[in-house]
Chain A
Amino acid sequence: MFLIPSQRGEKRMRKLVLLVFFFVSITYAFNISVYADDVPDSKEQPGVVASEDKSITEVDATNEEDTEEIDIEMEAVFVKDPIQPFNRAMFTFNDKVYYWLFRPLSKGYAAVLPEPARLGVRNFFTNIRMPGRFFNCIFQGKFKGAGTEMLRLVINSTLGVGGFSDPAKKYFKLDIQDEDFGQTLGRYNVGSGAFIEIPLFGPSNVRDGIGLLGDMVLDPIAWLTFVSPYASTGANTYNTLNDVSIDKGDTYENLVEGAIDPYIMVQDAYMQNRTKKIKE
């Protein structure tokens, strides 16, 4: 009578141990292959040539060569933009929304709420949006990144008092994994497609637009729509306002005000930034 349940328990235990072992070994095997991809190709160190006795003209000549090499590396990438008139109109619209609505609002908001509180709000929203980053890490085979996100959620939700502070970064050196569905698609070689300026959102392209829709499924803020459509829209707007108030809008204003063609500037900066994020 006494033995039977414990035997059962033991059997169960053994099964569980086996399962865990199986799981661990699988992730480990995956991890190995993931790490193998991460190892950069060992670059050959260029040999050192004695260059001291080169005459000035020769130095000049090599400089010219370098210039050419640098020139090629900066070759502008062709951005598909078949609906440019629409995009430019939307860009102007978004720009006005920013300057006439978000900018004055964020100034008022910043005057009311001190910066540490606003940083806390940003941390809260970042923490709550963990599912999107977590699953996109998994979709891209970045299991270590997914683990980091899981740990961050646990640490920040508890020690970080509901996500308002970020002890995971501060004390555990766990960096946020900036992944989204657009990047996942890019990882699987989906091309960016045409450039689109989305009203009230900003620069994007066909791939990242689809990515945005995909991410909504994983976004707890978007789930608020089931409660009330105003709830999610309100939360999103508030989040944007909060972000703008921390940044003081400097990033956008500087980008645009320094440019002779702000639309092209933003488009190019967006494309470059996305390319980098996909590579990472």
Chain B
Amino acid sequence: MKRIFCLLLFTFLLSQVAVAGVELEAEESLKTSVDKVITTLSDKELTMDQKKSKVIEITKTVFGFPLMAKLSLGKEHWSQFNPEQREEFTNLFIKLFQDFYVDKLDLFNDERIVFQPPVLENEKKVQIPTVLLSKGKEYSMLYKMSKTKNGWRIYDIEIEGVSLIHTYRSQYNHILESGEIEDLLTKMREKKIENEGS
């Protein structure tokens, strides 16, 4: 009886360790990227443009862009796109997202990110809550990561309960409900050109 109990306890502990491993792996990968971004930004020898292109390289290794693009459209609409439209949409989405993200880098100065214990959803999905400290205020930022063949990738960021992908989806849905796929793509192309101009 005692032995069985011991065995059970041992298996239980072991599974705990294994489970903890998965979320820590994801957290580790996110932390490294965040650290890299912060070191790049605080590097005084780089110009802003150099910083931006460097950060874009880093984000490529931590954001799961194809999945994000797919999610921002939603399964239903995604299935209505033909392969060429899908490709163009994905590329436009990535470009617009990067513009959006990189645009924010100028604002980053004395902010600090505090990591909190990651939450395991399942083996391939981890949520990592963090707190962004900015000017005496705290903002909750939740990184949602999924396991892909290339390792852990972010598929969504939730800031103060506002999911970024969700806001994209609402906009795309709204356009697709009243218009054609081509309308959405045109709007995205226009936005891309607008960003390049500014």
Contact = CB atoms under 8 A, between A and B. Distances in A.
Q: Are A and B a genuine interacting pair, yes or no?
A: yes
B162 A273 contact: yes
Given A46-B19, A67-B70, A277 B171 contact: no
Contact of B170 (A71, A264, A275, A276): A264
Contacts of B155: 70
Q: Size range of the interface on A?
A: 35 or more
B3 to A, nearest CB: 22
A69 B122 CA distance: 11
Contacts, number: 117
A268 B67 contact: no
A79 to B, nearest CB: 8
A39 interface: no
Contact of A277 (B135, B144, B146, B161): B161
Interface in B55-87: 67, 70-71, 74-75
B171 A264 contact: yes
A271 to B, nearest CB: 9
Contact of A74 (B19, B162, B163, B187): B163
B146 A76 contact: no
B125 A258 contact: no
Interface string B130-170: 00000110100000101111000001100011110111011
Interface string B102-125: 011001000000000000101111
Contacts of A115: 135
Given A260-B191, A265-B167, A48 B19 contact: yes
B71 A74 contact: yes
A62 B171 contact: no
B156 A46 contact: no
A166 B191 contact: no
A29 interface: no
Contact of A261 (B16, B18, B104, B171): B171
Interface stretch (A8-16, A155-163, A200-208, A246-254): A246-254
B96 interface: yes
A276 B120 CA distance: 20
Contact of B103 (A75, A169, A254, A273): A254
B135 A119 contact: yes
Contacts of A69: 125
A248 B134 CA distance: 12
Interface of A: 45-49, 51, 56, 59-60, 62-63, 66-71, 74-76, 79, 115, 119, 123, 166, 169, 175, 246, 248, 250, 254, 257-261, 264-265, 267-269, 272-273, 275-277
Which 10 interchain pairs have the tightest Cβ spacing? A276-B161, A258-B100, A268-B170, A272-B162, A261-B171, A269-B162, A48-B18, A71-B75, A268-B167, A264-B171
